[in-house]
Chains A and B, each alone.
Chain A
């Protein structure tokens, strides 16, 4: 079975600083990887995804993630964060027929 490990449960950063949220997965087959964002008391919103092709994927709000097969990682980065980026971020791998296996989540806190 596939699994996902998010190495940091909380990441505090200052506004306009860069951030990296780490994600490692375990899988012996081809993977489809996702990052979801969850704002307080809300459902999950897809941030970006890797299915195939270019290993660097980008979202419309400045986040990017790089699929690294040799390191089995899919870290999420943003060069300059904003207060509105405060949320919980979940890395997920698709298993089987579109079932998602999620990591434990990383709470990103932006300090002014």
Chain B
């Protein structure tokens, strides 16, 4: 297993465009998390799934953001009508439901111009 995989690694988009990121977790992990990290800050929790169910969403996740995990495996995070303030590193992590460690992917760096 190669760990948590995120694609793309980098994305530059114009303001107002929609973008979608993909996360492939470690195969046996039931839980999948999305975090956002802005420059000079620690990651901030956005949402998490257990299998295909989205169990918690942060207030940071505005209605322009939507996350899915349709078959309980990979997940997508879509941002509609991007704004410059959406520029950040988007990190995905996965863990076992009863485990104690979350494994992070390398992130997708979004730049909105």
Check if B43 sits within 8 Å of A90, measured CB to CB: yes
For A103, give the chain B residue with the smallest CB separation.
Answer: B42
A-side residues, CB < 8 A to B, are 4, 6, 9, 32, 36, 41-46, 49, 51, 90, 92, 96-105
Q: Please tell me which one of the listed residues B42, B56, B103 contacts residue A99 in the complex, with CB atoms under 8 A apart.
A: B56
Our count of residue pairs bridging A and B at CB distance below 8 angstroms stands at: 63
Q: Could you tell me the dominant secondary structure of chain B's interface residues? A: strand
For A42, give the chain B residue with the smallest CB separation.
Answer: B106
Residues of B within 8 A of A97 (CB): 31, 48, 50, 55-56
Distance A9 CA – B41 CA, assembled complex (angstroms): 10
Check if A100 sits within 8 Å of B56, measured CB to CB: no
Check if A99 sits within 8 Å of B45, measured CB to CB: yes
Chain A CB within 10 A, most for which of B45, B102, B103: B102
Q: Please tell me which one of the listed residues A41, A98, A101 contacts residue B31 in the complex, with CB atoms under 8 A apart.
A: A98
Residues of A within 8 A of B35 (CB): 100
